[in-house]
Amino acid sequence: MRILVTGGAGFIGSHINVQALEMGHEVVVIDNLSHGTRENVPAGARFVYGDILSPESWVDQVGPVDAVIHLAAQISVAASESDPLTDLRLNLEGTLRMLAVAKTLGASQFRTASSAAVYGNVDQLPLREDGPAWPISFYGWSKYTAEQYVKHFADLNHMQAIIFRLANVYGPRQRTQGEGGVVAVFCEALARNETVEIHGDGEQTRDFVYVGDVARAFLHRLADPGPVSVYNVSTQTRTSVRALFEMLARAAGVSSQSYRVGAKRPGDITDSLLSQHKAKLWGFEPITPLTDGLEATWHYFREKEAQR
């Protein structure tokens, strides 16, 4: 298949590129390099510089595609709270524009990244796709609203669409911003021998999923995706932020008490745990244990710091 990946020079996109090429797919990457890097685009993929808010400047350079994987987005809860208009434009308008691009380029399939943030603080854990969703941040609302646009557009245009509500994604090449960015923040601080700051009491819990598994989800059942659906991509395992730091501290060989406490961040969810049930019925589940994923991520950041 010929696949267009928006935001393909970024963290998750870079892993999708590699796996897609290994599977024999042809990959075209669209990115404005505002957060991604050219080095994240493998030699076998074609790179086209472009912004999702102005597709008219690049769409003619792409050619027909079979599928669009839409990743380009605003991913920071804090940024959405301070600048909700930019968050809305990138996450909602950007998604709608990429749906139109998919139609223009003849794509029969559209896949996009949503977030666990759409659920908000829901008491019933694990969070299910058919359960309540009540975001507590502009970011969560923009992602949830974008989901509805994807479903409606797909229905109107007879397009196959899959929406992935991602748990806290972590792994090599991650930036220190975004929903899963706590792993990258901790690794970078440890690699620089800086004191780690834990926001709040550290007992808030997250569902951490390795980026290699997330890439596998985006490429799962490309030939036979089934009906328009929303799937959680998660491990269905709760890990507190404090426990996460303790695991990374062991990997780095430092004291698990070497951190400072900071203020709780606005818009942060207290507990997040996503159900795997629906994804398993679809035939997908992650395979990377948290300890293995954290070890790989720590080594990446340690080597990156050594090269500075």
Using the 8-state DSSP alphabet, how is residue 263 labeled? Answer: P
User: Residue for token digits 């890990």?
Assistant: 239
Element (H, E) at 114: strand 109-115
Alpha-carbon distance 192 to 119, whole Å?
35
Structure tokens at 289: 């244990």
* CA torsion, ordered 57, 59, 60, 64, to nearest 10 deg: 180
Tens of pLDDT along the chain (308 residues)?
999 999 999 999 999 999 999 999 999 999 999 999 999 999 999 999 999 999 999 999 999 999 999 999 999 888 999 999 999 999 999 999 999 999 999 999 999 999 999 999 888 999 999 999 999 999 999 999 999 999 999 999 999 999 999 999 999 999 886 545 899 999 999 999 888 888 878 889 999 999 999 999 999 999 999 999 999 999 999 999 999 999 999 998 887 667 777 777 766 778 899 999 999 999 999 999 999 999 999 999 999 998 88
139 is catalytic: yes
Helix 181-191 / helix 290-306 crossing angle, nearest 10 deg: 50
List strand residue ranges (DSSP E) for 228-299, in order. Answer: 229-233, 239-240, 259-262
Per annotation, catalytic residue among 139, 144, 170, 259:
139
Please check whether the domain covering 2-169+209-234+270-287 is classified as CATH 3.40.50.720: yes
Question: What pTM value is reported for the model?
Answer: 0.94
Q: Where are the beta strands (DSSP E) in 156-217?
A: 160-166, 168-170, 196-199, 205-206, 208-210
